[in-house]
A and B are shown apart, each in its own frame.
Chain A
Amino acid sequence: MQTEAFKRIMKESVPALIVAASIGTVAGTAMQLRGTEAWLAIPIFLMVVPSISELGNDAATILSSRITTLLALGVIKPKLERSEALESNIIAIVTIGVLSSFYMGIINFVVADKAGLGTTRMLPFLATCVIAVTLLTLLVCVVAVAVAFLTWRKGLDPDNVTIPISTSISDLLAIFSLLIAMRIVGFI
């Protein structure tokens, strides 16, 4: 029984993780295209990369896990139709994301400042964080729901497939959202 489960995990996870590694490398390429020197010149933005990636990953993981559980329990169906349970989860994820972006901006700025990495003013940095995370969270919701429904319809275990795919896409979206927000606020 466990051997079968192990085989299933490996069989389903490997293709998903190959896609995930490829998407992660594309995200890294997006960072590299801006230039190593550019990231090192304003290190606070290099510093914020793990935090914003985490926020995107968290949103994707929480939403994917909850959709999986809702699908497994039969509360929702993998169709694009109005569902109170699904809407509540999306509202919660976006609310958490926006609230968290303020904390992310402030704590990163304060720590960077104390560590001598803060070469920018607080308000523009905070605005960059809030814009980036809001954009990221909205995009992640669309991705998590789409990937969860598609994998469920194909009969794959969403725990093995949905999370790796949606978190990897969220990594890519995190870098792009950060770069877009930096452009909007005027850092690049």
Chain B
Amino acid sequence: MTQLRKMIKESFFSEVLSISGGTLAGLFLASSAMRHLLENFPGLLIMIPGFLGLRGNILGAVSARIGTGLHTGLIEPKITLKGDTAMNLVASLLLSMFVNTLIGVLTYFVSVFLGMDAVLWKLIVVGALSGALASVIVGPFTIMLTILVFRRGIDPDSVMGPLVTSVGDITAVICLFLAAIMVG
């Protein structure tokens, strides 16, 4: 029961942060500038859930791997971008670009199926560009924060997921917006 209470306490605090971050991301998503883009960029709405999920999918996994490494003693709790941490960072960057490009391609096919006037190259470039931008920002942040949280005696498994997705969502929506503006 003590363990249960500890988990609820640790996780609820990070949920509050996470929802606050999600609200900020949502505010940006529902802003008049973004609504204008959504109206005039066929396929952009379809890309949103995939983009929002990406940060949790890739960086959540990075944080979980670092967390498991810290728990089992395979990774030392030192902030450094060498060895396993650097390897995780490079992997997350490559995976982000690959998956975002794929989301762009899949969105194009769905858009065509739904009779929308989508442009393949625009969706691919928006995907790859926004994914790369977001990963460069959130990747190092994830690794450093996982180690810092572990050092403070908090279980990264309980708190890092919400923190990563929260920061990732805001970054993803802003990068998606910037990339869509750049592509036109």
Contact = CB atoms under 8 A, between A and B. Distances in A.
A72 B65 CA distance: 12
A129 to B, nearest CB: 10
A21 B50 contact: yes
Interface in B74-130: 83-84, 87-88, 90-91, 94-95, 98-99, 102-103, 106-107, 110, 114
Contact of A91 (B4, B25, B45, B95): B4
Given A10-B91, A89-B7, A47 B23 contact: yes
Question: Chain B, interface size: which category?
Answer: 35 or more
Contacts of A174: 49
Contacts, number: 247
Nearest to A87: B4
Contacts of B61: 13, 159-160, 163-164
A22 B109 CA distance: 11
Question: Chain A, interface size: which category?
Answer: 35 or more
Interface in B1-51: 3-4, 7-8, 11-12, 14-16, 18-23, 25-27, 29-31, 35, 38-39, 45-51
Given A61-B56, A61-B64, A28 B161 contact: no
Contacts of B14: 58
Contact of A167 (B45, B47, B57, B88): B57
Given A10-B91, A28-B46, A31-B48, A159 B30 contact: no
Contacts of B29: 46-47, 49-50
Contacts of B157: 62, 65-66, 69
Contacts of B60: 57, 61, 163, 167
B54 A24 contact: yes
A101 B34 CA distance: 25
B39 A36 contact: yes
Contacts of A141: none
B91 to A, nearest CB: 5
Which 10 pairs show the lowest CB-CB distances between chains A and B?
Answer: A24-B50, A61-B161, A51-B22, A28-B46, A27-B49, A47-B26, A47-B30, A65-B157, A50-B25, A43-B30
Contacts of A10: 91, 94-95
